[in-house]
Structure 1
Amino acid sequence: MTFTFKRTDLPDGFLFGTATSAYQIEGHRFGGAGETHWDSFAATPGNVVNAETGAVGCDSYHRWGEDLDLVAGANLDVYRFSTSWARVLPEGRGAPNPEGLDYYDRLVDGMLERGLKPAATLYHWELPSPLSDLGGWRNRDIAGWFGDFAEVIMGRIGDRVWSAAPINEPWCVSWLSHFLGQHAPGLRDIRAAARAMHHVMLAHGTAIGAMRGLGMKNLGAVCNFEYAQALDDSPEARNVTKTYDAIYNQFFLSGMFRGRYPQEVIDGLGAYLPKGWEDDMALISQPVDWCGINYYTRKLIGPAPGPWPALAEHEGPLPKTDMGWEIYPEGLEHFLTMVARDFTGDLPIYVTENGMAAPDILTDGAVRDDDRIAYIDAHVAALRRALDAGVPVKGYFVWSLLDNYEWALGYGKRFGLVHVDFDSLERTPKASYQALKAALARS
């Protein structure tokens, strides 16, 4: 199976890439990295499938050269990677870890040597445990700590990265982790969630300011989106769908690009936000150079008993990935159009994550993942429709390069273009990798 698009079908300068994150692939026990709240979250019974951690991951800490060869070998332009706060600053503050800084130095230089554009994300969810002990994202001081981390790591590699963004998916860092309790630190507390949501935004603005102070350019923001559709036509279902959309798809984007939060969220969280939060909005909404969209699925939303937000997700009828997520490429077109129209205008937009989990059985040295090829193909088609409508989409990055540690689901869900045997750590490019290599070939 092949893709129906090729590189020349997209505008000149359109970038294709792939993405990973530090804790999911590097092997956190290597190289002097400090403890994170994910380590203790996974050590708590019932939180993570098989109590698996990122201690070894894909051992990209040692195999980074092989992994960068895979990125370049697929004819990709950009490698979107993240830096580990706890690898760079094991205590979260204070003295840097020389081995950690050296690792990211080698990684960035390795990308440049292979003709790849390094796209850095400062934080992809692994908070140093000493900062978690001080309240983590509930503590306003975290914005300053994060700004200091930005200065340390970007003071080392910021002169060579093509782009940088402070925080991957603020919704996951705050709501999923402090209200739903599904990710570290595993809290289910509305006050904690409200404060984490605002402090994540404050940390974003602080880090943008710190990187501007270093003279860096091409700085962006990356949010995740889920298409919210009402379960039925009842007023109750429509109302809670608006609430879901406001929390998930509007809150962080509105803070960054409008300097205010949606009223639907303020109605529910206003009593729990930190005092004087309004005074932070100018810092939070300082200009960025691009916006990143992470998109995977849609959700059907209906009313539920109980306090705000009084909603529930329902299983939908569409084909699903191995995560149980509905495949709905129309949602990507919707968000590309909506973000440009309502928030960012002419600012460049990148699809910074899109992909699917599949069972991906290695048979006779190969993985036939035609379902992933179809998924990517349909979403690139949706992106092209948005382009045709005038949306300034400048790139598309597949999640993920490698099968990796999928957080609370351990190593059982495979998103990679490349199969990883988690015993031998051998890499095997899948059919989707080969198809992408052919589609992106340069004449």
Structure 2
Amino acid sequence: MSMLTRRHLLRRAALSAAATQASPAVGATAVGTAALAGCRSDEPADRTDPAASPATRLPFPPDFGWGAATSAYQIEGAAKEDGRGESIWDTFSHTPGRIRNGDTGDVAADHYHRYAEDLDLMRDLGLRSYRFSISWPRIQPDGTGAANQRGLDFYRRLIDGLHERGIAPMATLFHWDLPQSLQDAGGWESRDVAQRFADYAATVFTALGDRVPVWLTINEPKTVVQNGYLQGHHAPGRQDPDAAYLVAHHLQLAHGLAVRALRAQSGTGRIGPAFNLHPCYPADDSPAAAEATRLYDGYENRLYLDSAFKGSYPQDVLADLGPGSRMVRGIRDGDLEIISSPVDLLAVQYYTPIYVTADGGTTRRWPTSEASWQQIYPEGMYDILTRVTRDYGPVPLTVTENGLPTPDLLAEDGTVEDTGRVTFLRDHLAAAHRAITDGVPLESFHVWSLLDNFEWAEGYDQRWGLIYVDYPTQRRVLKRSAHWYRQVIADNSL
């Protein structure tokens, strides 16, 4: 990797994190983004009632899977209980200066002890699907070897509880909580960790496979690469572009090996990856902006989509990295055949668009949420769903994360008026509905998140949940968005 490419990658990572501060906001979209409470915008917010029914109902397919999503480290707590090992996020969050306010996931939303209460809340919301993740160090404390039976038993109880309430489990095998012992042995820079992941996946499939209809392999490999190895504000906290894209390759390889592990067991569950996809648009009409956007899209989207669905990495990205990069040198014969092992579905996670300038930087075009990196652009949901279907064929899709943080406060009367979240979800669901109407095989939609939780580097400062968590008491309170979503599910319609 040339020094020029190294500088470009570090600059891209920094710009991606600060993209929303690069230019003044402009007017909101036609589907109501300016109505978001808590958004930053130079335009005043529209205070009309976001829960009001649209003039025309938008019905969803009869078997549409209405759901919500969480991840293990963000909600479970019980960090040192029942044989759970240490993860890189335990280490990272306990390192001074890494997490806002010094927060950790030691207790989080205490879901490990309160899962039955949370299952009842899911049932009361009418959820048809629940996407959660399995903690690798809860199953294999050191990342290898025999399974920790107490860890497996917890997930068996959770899965059984979902079935008892008529909710379909959707399990993610890896949502960033790599066992610390594997990090000490090289982490995702080590090719061996991809095989260790396949072994772990096989262990979980053997124990739980007959009860889980949908498996997701790796959650957001791009975020591990960009936040964990370029920006360094996620575990393991590195800033090394050459390591970052070797990690990307090994994460993709781990995905493919896990798919093969399920097939080897003749499992009946469906399986696929979970990619956070950011539609990339030129910031202006210049040829330079179009060219820069193409490469940016390569790093953001095609690196993961092409390898999983076409069996090749984008040539423009490989050329930009250079033949001497650790990623290019780390690709072995047969790797891409493994990575592109046929899958049953693709999980799409959409949060924000990216606008790329002629010099390869980024700029802000829309209002942002409390997460400064997130521009509110519902049309991007339609664009990314239709783009995947157009470019990669009619693979069944599920939206496994879509949401935003809002400044939620528990009122004296016990209510939480998160009107901005209602508007956001309504507008993104309308975009998803239009994609279905235009032929996208979208099967389900999962709001991020079911519960307020540990929001990684932001600790507990940002609230993303449909359900408010009062952390000192662990009391759960349905927000206005939860009541609204329950009605959408009951109606199967916007």
What SS does the corresponding residue of 1:9 show, helix, strand or coil? coil
346, 367, 384: which one aligns with 2:394: 346
CA 1:4 to 1:213, structure 2 compared with 1: closer, same or farther past 3 Å?
A: farther
Distance 1:382 1:392 in 2: 14
Question: Deviations for 1:222-246, whole angstroms, at most 9, x for unmatched residues?
Answer: 1001222333334443333222211
Give yes or no for the alignment of 1:361 onto 2:409.
yes
Further displaced range: 30-39 or 376-385: 30-39
Please give the per-residue CA displacement for 1:251-295, whole angstroms capped at 9, x wherever unaligned.
111110000011221112243213443530001001000111100
Whether the 8 Å contact between 1:290 and 1:350 is mirrored in structure 2 is: yes
> For residue 321 of structure 1, what is the amino acid of its counterpart?
S
Distance of 1:158 and 1:334 partners within structure 2: 34
The question of 1:263 aligning with 2:315 is answered yes
SS state at 2:334 partner: helix
Partner deviation per Cα, 1:111-136 (whole Å, 9 max, x = no partner): 00110000000000000000000111
Cα separation, 2, equivalents of 1:258 and 1:170: 17
Q: CA offset at residue 56 of structure 1?
A: 0.6
Q: Structure 1 residue aligned with 2:444, among 383, 391, 395?
A: 395
Offset at 1:317?
A: 4.1
Q: Which residue, 50, 69, 76 being the options, matches 1:19?
A: 69
Question: Which residue type is aligned with residue 82 of structure 1?
Answer: S
SS at match of 2:361: strand
Q: Give the structure, 1 or 2, with the largest relative contact order (CA under 8 Å, sep 6 or more).
A: 2
What is the aligned partner in structure 1 of residue 332 from structure 2? 277
Higher mean C-alpha displacement, 126-135 vs 209-218: 209-218
**Secondary structure, counterpart of 1:255 in structure 2:** helix
- Out of 120, 129, 151, the position equivalent to 2:180 is 129
Aligned to 2:136: 85
Q: Distance in 2 between matches of 1:134 and 1:17?
A: 37
Contact 1:190–1:269 (CA under 8 A) maintained in structure 2: no
Secondary structure at 2:146 match in 1 = coil
The superposition leaves residues 23-46 of structure 1 with CA deviations (integer Å, 9 ceiling, x where unpaired) of: 000002333211111122222333
Distance across 1 between alignment mates of 2:473 and 2:224: 32
Secondary structure at the residue paired with 1:148? helix
Q: Distance in 2 between matches of 1:136 and 1:79?
A: 29
**Larger displacement relative to structure 2 (417-426 or 32-41):** 32-41
Q: Is the CA contact (8 Å cut-off) linking 1:3 and 1:439 kept in structure 2? A: no
Kindly tell me: are residues 124 and 35 of structure 1, through their superposed partners in 2, closer, same or farther at Cα, counting changes over 3 Å? same
Indicate whether 1:120 and 2:175 are aligned: no
Please tell me whether residue 220 in structure 1 is matched to residue 268 in structure 2: no
Partners of 1:175 and 1:197 within 8 A in 2: no
Alignment of 1:303-322 (within 5 A): 311-314=360-363, 316-322=364-370
SS in 2 for 1:366: coil
Render the CA deviation track for 1:128-167: whole Å, top value 9, x for unaligned: 0000001110000011100110011121111101200111
Taking every aligned residue pair, what percent have the same amino acid on both sides? Answer: 43
Q: 1:414 aligns with which of 445, 456, 463?
A: 463
SS at the partner of 2:487? helix
Residue from 321, 340, 345 that aligns with 1:290: 345
In the alignment, structure 1 residue 106 sits paired with structure 2 residue 161: no
Q: Of 301, 308, 320, which aligns to 1:249?
A: 301
- Segments of 5+ residues of structure 1 without an aligned counterpart are 305-310
* Counterpart pick for 2:489 among 436, 440, 443: 440
Deviation at 1:379, TM superposition (A): 0.5
Which one of the candidate residues 230, 247, 272 is aligned to 2:282? 230
Q: How many residues align?
A: 435
2:396–2:442 Cα contact (<8 Å) kept: yes
SS at match of 1:219: strand
Alpha-carbon shift at residue 218 of structure 1 (Å): 1.2
Amino acid at match of 2:346: C
Residue 332 of structure 1 is matched in structure 2 by 381
Q: Report the secondary structure of 1:80's partner residue.
A: strand
Q: Is the CA contact 1:121–1:166 (under 8 Å) kept in the aligned structure 2?
A: yes
Aligned amino acid, residue 389 of structure 1? D
User: Given the alignment, which residue of 184, 187, 204 partners 2:238?
Assistant: 187
Q: Deviations over 1:297-325 (max 9, x none)?
A: 11233366xxxxxx4333x2422211121
- Kindly tell me: are residues 142 and 3 of structure 1, through their superposed partners in 2, closer, same or farther at Cα, counting changes over 3 Å? farther
CA distance in 2, matches of 1:3, 1:42: 41
Q: Does structure 1 conserve the Cα–Cα contact (< 8 Å) formed by 2:355 and 2:365?
A: no
Q: Which moved more, 1:233-242 or 1:178-187?
A: 233-242
**What is the TM-score normalised by the length of structure 2?**
0.85
CA distance in 2, matches of 1:3, 1:56: 37
Structure 1 CA distance for aligned equivalents of residues 422 and 331 of structure 2: 48
SS in 1 for 2:362: strand
**1:12-68 deviation line (CA, Å, top 9, x unaligned):** 211110000000000023332111111222223332112211111100000001111
1:379 counterpart SS class: helix
Match of 1:307 in 2: none
Are the counterparts in 1 of residues 286 and 358 from structure 2 also a CA contact under 8 Å?
A: no
* Cα root mean square deviation, aligned: 1.8
8 Å CA contact retained: 2:218, 2:274: yes
2:53 and 2:315 map into 1 onto residues whose CA distance is 43
CA distance in 1, matches of 2:173, 2:52: 32
CA distance in 2, matches of 1:96, 1:395: 32
Task: Say whether residues 1:425 and 2:485 are aligned partners.
Answer: no
Matched AA of 2:320: G
Q: Say yes or no: does 1:9 pair with 2:59.
A: yes
How far apart, in 1, do the equivalents of 2:203 and 2:385 lie? 33
